[in-house]
A and B are shown apart, each in its own frame.
Chain A
Amino acid sequence: KQEVTQIPAALSVPEGENLVLNCSFTDSAIYNLQWFRQDPGKGLTSLLLIQSSQREQTSGRLNASLDKSSGRSTLYIAASQPGDSATYLCAGGGRSSASKIIFGSGTRLSIRP
């Protein structure tokens, strides 16, 4: 059964630091992987989608990479800001339209001013 682990579960860093969030799957047969941001009590906002033909995606200060051989993904946030404080979730699944995407439990990030 596919399981997803996100490490660390919580992270607090001072403003301006670069940081890395980790996501790993027990079954490395991941087709695509998506990173989301969730503010407390709010919906999930899609940040980046890494498709099977890609190894990484970038959007502004965010960079996500996917290593399919190991079933691991990282989300890199450069020059962190207090507005980056949120919970970050990764989700991935197989290629088949019948396959289910599996969500990690998230990393709760706090950026201290």
Chain B
Amino acid sequence: EAQVTQNPRYLITVTGKKLTVTCSQNMNHEYMSWYRQDPGLGLRQIYYSMNVEVTDKGDVPEGYKVSRKEKRNFPLILESPSPNQTSLYFCASSRQGGSGYGYTFGSGTRLTVV
């Protein structure tokens, strides 16, 4: 089944403790992206990757890091999480960037930073 898999689904952590949210897709998509969703603010892009070893900042990149060493994986790293990073996070992939092809989303990771 074609899908984007995120782990973990739920995570509670303390301020400053480094964490990684994994994202993997099995569709051989070139484009991958991370979003956060907050009430009243909608979906905001954190980072995206056009292809392996190519990453770029989205609208809200502060406090996050990403890497794209393999085509299928696009982990999101929070080096020193803070409470304002409490949010619902989504990974998405597409055959290419832009709107030429549809986007497939993961099931989401609900992160709470205390």
Contact = CB atoms under 8 A, between A and B. Distances in A.
Interface of A: 30-34, 36, 41-46, 49, 89, 91-101, 103-106
B100 to A, nearest CB: 6
B45 interface: yes
A99 B106 contact: no
Given A32-B100, A99-B98, A103-B43, 19 more contacts: A31-B100, A32-B101, A34-B103, A43-B107, A43-B108, A46-B102, A46-B103, A46-B105, A49-B102, A89-B43, A92-B99, A96-B98, A97-B97, A97-B100, A100-B48, A100-B97, A101-B98, A103-B42, A104-B42
Contacts of B110: 41
A44 B101 CA distance: 16
29 contacts: A31-B98, A31-B99, A32-B100, A34-B102, A34-B103, A36-B105, A41-B88, A41-B108, A42-B107, A43-B90, A43-B105, A44-B92, A44-B105, A49-B101, A91-B99, A91-B103, A93-B99, A94-B99, A95-B98, A95-B99, A97-B96, A98-B97, A99-B97, A100-B58, A101-B98, A101-B103, A103-B42, A103-B43, A106-B42
A46 B43 CA distance: 15
Interface string B43-67: 1010010100000001000000000
Nearest to A31: B99
Interface residues of B, number: 24
Contacts of A96: 97-98
Contacts of B88: 41
A107 to B, nearest CB: 12
Given A103-B42, A103-B43, A106-B42, A43 B106 contact: yes
Interface of B: 31, 42-43, 45, 48, 50, 58, 88, 90, 92, 96-108, 110
Contact of B99 (A34, A43, A89, A105): A34
A101 B42 contact: no
B99 A46 contact: no
